[in-house]
Chains A and B, each alone.
Chain A
Amino acid sequence: MEIDERDEKKLKDREKSEKELGMEEEKQHSPQGAEIPQGGSVMESRLRGAVLQIVPDASARERIIAGVKAGRHGRRKLTPRIPAAVLAACLLLSFLCFARPGVIGDDVVVYAATEEFGWQKLLEGERIQLKMEPFDTVGEDEYMEPFDEMGRCNYYPYSCTFRLEVPEKYLYDKQFTTLRDDFITERGGKIVWRVAPERAEDAGRVFQGNLSLWIVDENRERQAALELELTKENGKCYAELKRVWESKAYKKDRHKK
């Protein structure tokens, strides 16, 4: 091979000149000055001879080439290098998108218990179906009329639950407009929507009510108003969060980085 021959020739030429260089260096730097121990150059040529005997055997050669090919077509391709700036931008973006409020800004967060996802954060304008958990129960063999003689609800078979996370410096207050026979209560730090049985005459009707949430500061001054629109439709319950109003200070707080 042309390159091999050329390299060999060059190496031989170099070998001569470098032997000289080596000797020169010995002369210049060795503490003995011009007295160069004869063993020195022998040692170096022996070293060259010994090191040159190190060559990969056939199986090692195969492994290396196979590894290079696999590396080029497989491993490396699967992990493309992403410029640091792009990576940083992606990380920042995902942080801004998924970071919980309070981390990048202060805002109240409403979670609802759902069948599919457990506690789900309510996003503005998104209607989600709520999990209806059994609430008041009667024994298996017992029967209780859902409504008494006066038309009042006897028991509430289901409940839907909400959880609120309010920033430290704020408090909240709530106000509920009725939704047929249902009502809202607070239990164990959670807001519970007690769902009444459906009346026969209500079949096919849609009922809607609002739970207003007022965010107040330490001075009891209102800073924001949220509305939880609750809907009962075909025996299922839904909720949708709406932001009604917020003070400038609250808005600034919510968007602070």
Chain B
Amino acid sequence: MLEKRTDSPDQNVEEIFRTYGNMLYRIAFVMMKNVFDAEDVVQDTLIKYMEQRERGKSFETEEHRKAWLIRVDSNLCKNRLRFYKNHPKISVEQLSRYYEKEEDTLLMDSLLLLPFKYREVLLLHYVEGYQGREIAGMLGLSESAVRKRLERGREKLRGLLQETG
């Protein structure tokens, strides 16, 4: 298990990145809407992780570690968005590089048009597979707030898709 390994910090961070890098990157990408910020956020998340490890932070389970990483990743996105709030970045060109089907590009484009709070819960629920209760714990929300955001997020996404397609 990762917890018991005695690798050097650099090996450890590479291991963490191999395991959770994709997940952290896609969360950051969907939140930040561009690859540059996504890369920076993942990088900062891993730096924070290493700092915490050096300070002796341990994780009870692998799930705990994963949830911690998601929370930090998400919080860093929020911090950046707060900074960028007057300069929204949406780059369809960047999206199209991931998709062959136009409908996927349109779907992602619509997702990125949703407010942050909806994108966040939709991503954690439908993509990362967390339940409402878990998301609530992770984001510091009530379970009902998460349910409401999921519901509204779905509605808005559906509405946007109907408008575009």
Binding site for B on A (CB under 8 A): 1-4, 6-7, 10-11, 14-15, 17-18, 21-22, 25-26, 28-30, 37, 39-40, 43-44, 46-56, 60-61, 63-65, 67-69, 71-72, 76
Contact between chains at A40 and B151 (CB < 8 Å)? no
Shortest CB–CB separation between residue B6 and chain A, in angstroms? 17
Interface residues of B in 141-165 (CB under 8 A from A): 147-148, 150-151, 154, 157-158, 161
B70: Cβ under 8 A from any A Cβ: no
Question: Can you list 26 A-B pairs, Cβ within 8 angstroms, ordered by A?
Answer: A3-B2, A3-B19, A14-B129, A18-B125, A22-B126, A25-B150, A26-B154, A40-B158, A43-B157, A43-B158, A43-B161, A44-B126, A47-B127, A48-B127, A51-B111, A51-B123, A51-B127, A52-B127, A60-B35, A60-B39, A61-B17, A67-B43, A68-B17, A71-B43, A72-B9, A76-B51
Task: Closest A residue to B162 by CB, please name it.
Answer: A39
The answer on a CB contact under 8 Å between A55 and B131 is no
Residues of chain A within 8 A of B131, CB atoms compared? 14, 17-18, 21
Whole-angstrom distance between the Cβ of B132 and the nearest chain A Cβ: 7
A29 to B129 CA separation, bound complex (whole angstroms): 20
The SS class assigned to the B binding surface is: helix
Q: What 1/0 flags go to B37-66 for Cβ under 8 Å of A?
A: 011101110110011000000000010001
Docked-complex contact A76 and B147, CB < 8 angstroms = no
| In the complex, residue of chain B having the shortest beta-carbon distance to the beta carbon of A45 | B126
Closest chain-B Cβ to A74's Cβ sits at a distance in Å of 11
Kindly state whether residue B83 has any CB partner on chain A within 8 Å. no
Residues of B contacting A28 in the complex (Cβ-Cβ under 8 angstroms): 147
- State the majority secondary structure of interface residues on A: helix
Interface residues of B in 51-93 (CB under 8 A from A): 51, 62, 66
CA distance A1 to B2 in the complex (A): 11
B contact residues, range: 35 or more
Q: Let me know if B122 and A63 touch, CB within 8 A.
A: no
Residues of B within 8 A of A18 (CB): 125-126, 129, 131
In the complex, what's the smallest C-beta–C-beta distance from A34 to chain B, in angstroms?
15
Chain A proximity mask over B99-142: 1 for CB below 8 Å, otherwise 0: 10001100110010000000000110111011110000000000
B154 CB, min distance to chain A CBs, angstroms? 7
Q: Which residues of B contact A26 (CB under 8 A)?
A: 154
Q: Are A1 and B98 in contact (CB-based, < 8 A)?
A: no
Contact between A55 and B25, CB atoms less than 8 A apart: yes
Is there contact, CB below 8 Å, between B126 and A64?
no
User: Are B29 and A54 in touch, CB under 8 angstroms?
Assistant: yes
Can you name 10 extra interface pairs (CB under 8 A) apart from A3-B62, A51-B108, A72-B47? A11-B129, A50-B99, A50-B104, A51-B123, A55-B25, A56-B22, A61-B21, A64-B46, A68-B17, A71-B47
